[in-house]
């Protein structure tokens, strides 16, 4: 090692847990050495403690998790600020978002794939803290959307998803509304 490189590095002795050591070893090949893994971990810690240092995706993930922010599409946002809430049900990019999330066009999906795409994307966007999707032996889907807001929030999103699903699939959608959750019972016709 050159004198220049040696002078730019400092030696640190630290005792770490077995779990931490296993993680360092796990990434050693990828980063080239144990010290390189530790250097990268410290950079990640700095980005975590100082969000402005991270890239935009990391900042969004932190804002979503820590500030409970939600991802809003441009079309939906513009419709909201114009006060035309009902247009959000039909003038949106929900299908494009699900296609992007799943990596395939809607005409390449079946209803179940579409529902899993809807589930995944709306959890990522942080509108719901949990979405459950089950299919019974008769092929009927039940989706439960859990949130911590109001019954009007449940009513709004139940109508939104009912419209979205019915506009793209031959099926019935029966909503069941609660205060901090709602169900959609979906049957293909």
pLDDT 10s digits, 133-176: 999 999 999 999 999 999 999 999 999 999 999 999 999 999 99
The per-residue pLDDT for range 26-85, each reduced to its tens digit, is 999 999 999 999 988 888 777 666 655 556 667 667 777 777 777 777 777 777 778 777
CB 135 within 8 A of CB 112: yes
Rg of the chain taking only CA atoms, in angstroms: 23
Torsion 42-43-45-46 (CA) sign: positive
The reported pTM is 0.66
Query: Rounded distance, CA 40 to CA 156, Å?
Result: 44
User: Minimal CA–CA distance to 86: which of 165, 155, 12?
Assistant: 155
Structure tokens, 60: 């969004």
């Amino acid at each position: 090692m050159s004198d220049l490189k040696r002078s730019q590095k400092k030696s640190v002795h630290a005792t770490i847990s077995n779990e931490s050591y296993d993680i360092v070893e796990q990434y050693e090949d990828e980063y080239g050495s144990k010290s390189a893994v530790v250097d990268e971990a410290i950079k990640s810690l700095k980005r975590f403690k100082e969000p402005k240092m991270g890239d935009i995706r990391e900042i969004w993930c932190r804002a979503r998790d820590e500030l409970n922010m939600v991802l809003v599409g441009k079309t939906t946002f513009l419709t909201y600020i114009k006060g035309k809430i009902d247009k959000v049900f039909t003038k949106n990019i929900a299908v494009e978002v699900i296609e992007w999330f799943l990596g395939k066009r809607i005409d390449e999906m079946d209803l179940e794939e579409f529902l899993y795409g809807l589930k995944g994307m709306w959890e990522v966007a942080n509108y719901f803290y949990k979405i459950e999707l089950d299919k019974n032996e008769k092929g009927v889907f039940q989706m439960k959307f859990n949130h911590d807001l109001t019954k009007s929030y449940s009513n709004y999103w139940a109508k939104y998803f009912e419209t979205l699903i019915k506009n793209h699939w031959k099926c019935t959608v029966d909503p069941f509304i609660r205060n901090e959750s709602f169900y959609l019972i979906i049957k293909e016709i």
